[in-house]
Chain A
Amino acid sequence: MASQQFCTFLLDGCLFGVPVSQVQEVIRFHDITPVPLAPAAVEGLINLRGEIVLAIDLRRRLGLPRREEGTLPINVVVRTGEDAVSLLVDEIGEVIEVSESSFEAPPNTLHGAVRSLILGVYKLEGSLLHALDTVNACQVPATTEAMAVER
Chain B
Amino acid sequence: MDDIVKEFLIESGENLDRLDQELVKLESEPSSKELLASIFRTIHTIKGSCGFLGFARLEKLTHAGENLLSRLRDGELALNAEITSGLLAMVDAVRTILAVIQASGEDGEEDYATLIGRLAGLQNEPAVHPPAAASGPALEALSASPPAAGETNAAKKEEKSTQPSSTQTPRKPRRKRKLAESSPDPSKIGGVLVERGHVRPEDLALALEMQEKGRQKIGEILVAHGAASPEDVLAAQQTVELRKADAAGETIRVGLPLLDRLMNLVGELVLARNQLLQFSSTTPDAKLQAVSQRMNLIATELQEEVMKTRMQPIGNIWNKFPRTVRDLALGCGKQVRLEMEGQDIELDRTIVEAIKDPLTHLVRNAVDHGIEVPEARRRAGKDPTGILTLRAFHEGGQVNLEISDDGAGLDGNRIRQKAIERGLITPQQAALMPDRDVFHLIFLPGFSTAEKVTKVSGRGVGMDVVKTNVEKIGGVVDVRSTPGQGSTVRVKIPLTLAIIPALIATCGGERFAIPQVSLLELVRLDSDGRGKGIELVHGAPVYRLRGRLLPLVNLDRELGIRDKAESSARSTAVNIVVLQTEGRQFGLIVDEITDTQEIVVKPLGRQLKGINAYSGATIMGDGRVALILDVLGLAQKAGVIAEEPAATPDEGHGEAGAPQVSDERALLLAENGVEGRVAIPLAMVARLEEFPRTVVEHAGTQEVMQYRGQIIPLLRLSEIIPATRDADMLASTGSIHVVVYSEGTRTVGLIVDGIVDIVEQHAAVEPFTSRPGVVGSFVSQHHVTELLDLPAIVRAAVPGIMDGAQSEAGGI
Contacts and interface: CB of A to CB of B under 8 A. Distances in A.
Interface stretch (A43-51, A88-96, A99-107): A43-51
Given A49-B265, A54-B605, A142-B610, A37 B560 contact: yes
B265 A50 contact: yes
A34 interface: yes
Contacts of B607: 38-39, 42, 54, 85, 138-140
Contact of B602 (A36, A39, A52, A85): A52
A49 B264 contact: yes
A45 B625 CA distance: 7
B604 A52 contact: yes
B606 A47 contact: no
A83 B606 contact: yes
Interface in B576-633: 602-608, 610-611, 613-614, 617, 619, 623-627
Contacts of A49: 264-265, 268
Interface string A21-59: 000000000010111111100101111011111100000
Nearest to B614: A35
A49 B265 CA distance: 6
A45 B604 CA distance: 9
Given A42-B608, A52-B604, A52-B619, A33 B613 contact: no
B560 A47 contact: no
Nearest to B613: A37
B561 interface: yes
Nearest to A45: B625
B559 interface: yes
A33 B605 contact: no
A35 B605 contact: no
B510 interface: yes
B267 interface: yes
A52 B603 CA distance: 8
A37 B265 contact: no
A35 B264 contact: no
Interface string B13-48: 000000000000000000000000000000000000
A31 B624 contact: yes
Contact of B267 (A45, A50, A83): A50
Contacts of A39: 607
Contacts of A139: 607
Interface string A96-138: 0000000000000000000000000000000000000000001
Contacts of B267: 50
Contacts of B561: 36
A33 B625 contact: yes
A33 B608 contact: no
Nearest to B265: A50
Contact of B605 (A36, A50, A85, A142): A85
Contacts of A42: 607-608
Contacts of B611: 35, 37-38
Contacts of A47: 619, 623-625
Interface in A64-90: 83, 85
A37 B604 CA distance: 14
A54 B508 CA distance: 20
A44 B602 CA distance: 15
A54 B608 contact: yes
A83 B624 CA distance: 19
A85 B608 CA distance: 12
B781 to A, nearest CB: 46
Contacts of B619: 47, 50, 52
Nearest to B606: A83
B608 A38 contact: yes
Contacts of B268: 49-50
Contact of B626 (A33, A37, A53): A33
A85 B606 CA distance: 11
A45 B512 CA distance: 13
B267 to A, nearest CB: 5
A119 to B, nearest CB: 21
B641 to A, nearest CB: 19
Given A33-B626, A36-B560, A50 B510 contact: no
Nearest to A81: B606
B324 to A, nearest CB: 34
Nearest to A49: B268
A50 to B, nearest CB: 3
A76 B210 CA distance: 69
Centre residue among A51, A52, A54 by max chain B CB count within 10 A: A52
Contacts of B623: 31, 47
Q: Which of A33, A50, A52, A138 has most chain B Cβ within 10 Å?
A: A50
Interface of A: 31, 33-39, 42, 44-47, 49-54, 83, 85, 138-140, 142
Given A37-B613, A50-B268, 7 more contacts: A31-B623, A38-B611, A45-B627, A46-B625, A47-B623, A50-B267, A52-B605
19 contacts: A31-B624, A33-B626, A35-B614, A36-B508, A36-B510, A36-B560, A36-B561, A37-B611, A42-B607, A42-B608, A44-B625, A45-B617, A45-B625, A45-B627, A50-B265, A51-B602, A52-B603, A83-B605, A139-B607
